[in-house]
Structures are given as structure tokens and as C-alpha cells.
Structure 1
Amino acid sequence: MKFNLSLLLFAISLITFSQETKPSEDIINSEEVSFALVERVPIYKGCNEDMDNKGLKECFNDKINSHIAENFNIKVAEKLNLPDETMVKISVFFKISTTGKIVDIKARAPYPELEAEAIRTINLVPELKPGFIDGKPVKVPYYLPITFKVDNPKPSKNDKFPVFRSCDETLSYEALKECTTNKIKDYIKVSINYELADKLFPLDKSTQFLVSFTINKKGKAEQITAKAHKKEMAAEAINVLKRMPKFKSPGYKNGKPVDTKMQILMTIFF
């Protein structure tokens, strides 16, 4: 599995402030000052301290990008067996303390494994020089989105996609994937509660919801989640998938059964 890793630093890109800009009294008296407004930004190890704020921001940007690229263990994502072409975003939040330490690290991602890996990676950032306002060190909050796209390699001859009951097991991997996906969509369409949908969306004729689940090594759907415009619709989608019959066969990789993650965007009309 290959990933195109793209790192974006929200606090740095597209924002330029002059060192001569004088901060307001409210900012000076605040316990925290944003990266965009701090008079002297935190300095990453290896950056030239003689640079102005703009240069230090750019250096910080380059250094933390390089740090993530070198230290983020992409194998954690590979083990999740994510669907091809999936765009994954990990939102990381942390603060640079008045002593230059990284503290209060938090991460949000579709999977807890990715959150844990992002936090582990940020914990490896070397101690920084803190940000300053009016000659005094201040705590600086920071937001770092990490995004990557899943690009799965072609399956081998011994790989097989999970087989829905009415699909032909002799089909190729891609043909089985298409058949199984279409059969699951058909199952959802005939099983969903259309009266509930009509009640929840009285002014609409259709609605969409995204379902994510795993076909385990025994061919049963588990770890089912759903996103919809109404929580009741999401709950209904989850209940429908919980009732989905066991698959004829689970997915196989190198001749051995594996958990297979699936994600389907459904549109229903009522």
C-alpha cells in the first residue's frame, strides 16, 4: 500500500506578519497567543535565530514537515487496509509552552491508531525556543493537519475480495469487489426504513449517508459506523448493516483470510 503524504501547516501558510507590528494589550496579557499573532514565533531547532518572523515561520514549516515525513510510521495506516483512493486527514493540536516544550497534544482522525501515531510523532519533536511578546515568553497553540491518499497496489493472484452471497467466487478481485459492493447497496436499499427517511426529511426527495465497516476474517460485518444529516438516519443505517447476512467468503491476502474495510456512500430516494 502506498500513500501520498501531504502536510499542511495552517498557522504558517498564507499568513505574513511584520516583526514591527505591535501587539495589543489584550494579547500581551493573554496566557496564550496564536502562532499568527505572536511577536516572536517559537524557534525550531536548526533555524537561524537572526531571521525575521516570516523567515522563522517558513523554517518552522519546513522543519516540522520534514519531521513528520521522517518519523510518521506509515505502516500503521497500511495495517488498516483502507479502501483505495481514500483521503485521510489527521488533525493535530498542541501547544508550545513558555519553556519551549510541546504540551497538550491532541489528535483527531478516522481511526484511533492514526491518532496515537500522530501523537507519538509530535512527542518526538525536539524542544523549541518559546514564542515571545514584549520580551516575555508566552504559550503558543498550534494546529497541524496531516493528510494522505491511499493508493493500493494491484492485488496478487492469491488475493480475493469478500464474496457476498449471490456473487460468483470465481470472478477476478476487481469484479468481485464491484459485485459485492453493488449487492451491499441493493441490500441497504431494500432494508432501509423509507418511512423514517420521509419523516426526517419531509421537504426532500432523497438523502445521503456514508457507512463504514469491516468484513472480518469470518465474513461478518463489524465495527460499523455511519454519517448522515440526521443521527436517527445514521442509527438506522447501522442497524441495517448489523442485520446483513454473513458473507459467502471473507477477503483473502496471500491465501490467508484478512479483515477488509469497506466504505460506501449511499443515496436513497423516497
Structure 2
Amino acid sequence: MKKLVLLCFLLFAGMTYAQEGVSVKGNTVSMKDMPPVWPGCENSEQSSKACFQQKLIEHLKANYKYPRDENGKIIRGKTVVSFNINKEGKPEILSVEGPKKELNAEAKKIIMAIPQMEPGHRGGKPVAIKYKVPFTF
């Protein structure tokens, strides 16, 4: 009788165990990328994706500075930064696209100031998640 109860318990526990972002329908298993968790979003009432986006916008606003040339004039233009939040939760620049090197350097500096966070994951394993942010100076 004890063995039967133990077997039932193990079967029930195995059926109720699930990973976030993994769904099984018939013979198909699909895995969804779960976004990184920004510091302070761990216990947020928002979804982790919405909280990440909100914190990223706050970070960009707080660190946004207009670069100036040697005469003190503001340099204007557009830059697009592609980056990963890697498996360790740190930002990595993939590419910076823009015609002016001063703007590219400022945009890169803003992205590299992103704090370390809990990395994104797929199927319970950490993965790098790609992002692209446009800057208009």
C-alpha cells in the first residue's frame, strides 16, 4: 500500500511540474523565450516583459545626454544599437549603426550602463536575448 501511495504521489508530482514558457500539445513541445529580469522586477505585479521595458525606458531617460563637438555645439543625428543581454545577464553590443562616431559612442555608453540582471531563459536554461534600440540625438 505504501508503494502504491508513493507511486501515485510521484506520478502526480511529475504531471504538475511545468517550466515557465514551455507548453506541450500532443506531440509538439514549444518553448518561448522569457525576457531578462531587471533588478527590482523580481516581485513586480506587471509581467516581466512589461517591467523590463519600463525599466529600460527609465534607464535610457536617466542616462540620455546630447554629445557636443569641440566647439560645444550639440551634435544631432540618429543611431541604432543592437545588443544582447547575455547568458550572464550583462549587456553586449552587437552593432552600432549611425553616421557620426560621437553619437555612436554615446549610444554605446548608455547601453553598456545597463545593470546586470537575471538572464533571459528558454526551457529553464539561460539564453542571450537580442534587442535593438534607436536613438535620436
Q: Fold match, TM over 0.5?
A: yes
State yes or no: 1:165 paired with 2:39: yes
Q: CA–CA distance in 2 between the matches of 1:177 and 1:200?
A: 33
DSSP 3-state at the match of 1:194: coil
CA distance in 1, matches of 2:88, 2:49: 17
Over the matched positions of the two proteins, sequence identity in percent amounts to: 31
Structure-2 separation of matches of 1:253 and 1:195: 38
Do structure 1's residue 156 and structure 2's residue 25 form an aligned pair? no
Unaligned 5+ runs, structure 1: 1-154, 202-206
Q: Which residue of the other structure, out of 40, 62, 75, is the alignment partner of 1:190?
A: 62
Whether the aligned pair in 1 keeps the contact of 2:84 and 2:93 (CA below 8 Å) is yes
Taking a change above 3 Å as real, the CA distance of residues 265 and 177 of structure 1, as seen in their structure-2 partners, is: farther
Unaligned runs of 5+ in 2: 1-20, 24-30
Partners of 1:227 and 1:258 in 2: CA distance: 24
| Higher relative contact order (Cα pairs below 8 Å, separated by 6+ residues) | 2
- Displacement of 1:237 after TM fit? 0.8
**Counterpart position of 1:226:** 96
Match of 1:181 in 2: 53
CA contact (8 A) 1:217 1:251 kept: yes
CA contact (8 A) 2:67 2:103 kept: no
- Are the structure 2 counterparts of residues 226 and 169 from structure 1 closer, same or farther at C-alpha, using a change threshold of 3 Å? farther
Q: Deviations over 1:53-88 (max 9, x none)?
A: xxxxxxxxxxxxxxxxxxxxxxxxxxxxxxxxxxxx
The TM-score, its normalising length taken from structure 1, stands at 0.34
The RMSD of aligned alpha carbons is: 2.7
2:112 matched residue in structure 1: 242
Could you tell me whether the CA contact under 8 Å between 1:212 and 1:226 is conserved in 2? yes
Total equivalences in the alignment:
106
Deviation of residue 224 (structure 1)? 4.1
Q: TM-score, normalised by structure 2?
A: 0.62
| Structure of higher CA gyration radius | 1
